[in-house]
């Protein structure tokens, strides 16, 4: 992969797989704000949310044979934001082919305590995601080479402790 320091470009440049680790309970100031407010108000999903550019990005990647998947580390009870993200966002993105796993740490120790949110592309490049205390996205720090094995190990640990979203949702979802 031509390692780019532009997160948007990385989604079109990766060749095999893009993995995301999510660890926050609230990303409400990072996008989809209007949809989040609609969810809280009990309204229908806005059209622009259902057909967002992210759904297009995922669909194009999956149709070309590339894998996009993520693990979300969370605990119950779910925050309002997680209820929104899981019931609207994940289920929407699954229709485009994105895969989701849940690492529920409600009744166990978090094996990834202190690990930041990140994207790992093709085991070659990492984008560490930075957020403020209110879930606002601040930007990404890009790494390659010597930092990649560290984040690949975090991915492997997350997947080893996670369950498929559909299985988790069937037990704990709304």
Task: List pLDDT tens digits, range 30-61.
Answer: 878 899 999 999 999 999 998 899 999 999 99
Q: For residues 48 and 34, give the distance between their C-alpha atoms in angstroms, rounded to a whole number.
A: 10
Cβ contact 71:64 at 8 Å: no
Q: Hey, where are the domains in the chain?
A: 8-172
Judged against a pLDDT cut of 80, whether residue 174 lies above it is answered with no
Q: Which residues contact 29 (CB under 8 A, 6 or more apart)?
A: 132, 134, 135, 136, 137
Cβ contact 20:119 at 8 Å: yes
Task: List pLDDT tens digits, range 128-139.
Answer: 999 998 889 999
Query: What's the whole-number average pLDDT of the chain?
Result: 93
For 8-172, which CATH class? alpha beta
Q: Kindly report whether the global pTM for this prediction surpasses the value 0.85.
A: yes
Q: For residues 119 and 129, give the distance between their C-alpha atoms in angstroms, rounded to a whole number.
A: 8
Q: For residues 67 and 143, give the distance between their C-alpha atoms in angstroms, rounded to a whole number.
A: 21
Q: For residues 156 and 141, give the distance between their C-alpha atoms in angstroms, rounded to a whole number.
A: 21
Cβ contact 75:102 at 8 Å: no
Judged against a pLDDT cut of 90, whether residue 164 lies above it is answered with yes
Q: Of 16-20, 89-93, 101-105, which range is least confident?
A: 89-93
- The pLDDT value recorded for residue 1 is 43
- The pLDDT value recorded for residue 143 is 92
> 75-97 burial string, b = 16+ CB within 10 Å, else e?
eeebbebbebbbebbbebbeebb
- The pLDDT value recorded for residue 4 is 66
Residue 74: pLDDT band with limits 50, 70, 90: very high
CA distances from 109 to 27, 75, 113, 169 (A): 23, 11, 8, 21
Tokens of 20: 């995301």
Using a 10 angstrom Cβ sphere, with 0-12 exposed, 13-18 middle and 19 or more buried, the burial of residue 111 is: middle
């Amino acid at each position: 992969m031509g390692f780019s320091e532009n997160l948007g470009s990385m989604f079109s440049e990766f060749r095999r797989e893009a993995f995301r680790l999510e660890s926050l309970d609230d990303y409400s100031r990072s996008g989809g704000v209007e949809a989040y407010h609609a969810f809280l108000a009990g309204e229908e999903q806005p059209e622009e949310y259902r057909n967002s550019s992210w759904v297009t990005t995922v669909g194009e990647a999956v149709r070309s044979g590339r894998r996009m998947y993520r693990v979300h580390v969370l605990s119950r009870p779910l925050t309002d934001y997680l209820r929104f993200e899981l019931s609207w966002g994940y289920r929407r993105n699954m229709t485009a082919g994105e895969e989701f796993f849940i690492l529920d740490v409600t009744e166990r120790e978090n094996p990834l305590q202190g690990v930041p949110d990140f994207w790992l592309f093709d085991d070659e490049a990492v984008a560490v995601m930075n957020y403020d205390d209110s879930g606002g996205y601040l930007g990404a720090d890009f790494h390659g080479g010597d930092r990649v094995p560290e984040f690949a190990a975090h991915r492997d640990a997350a997947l080893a402790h996670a369950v498929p979203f559909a299985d988790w949702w069937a037990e704990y979802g709304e």
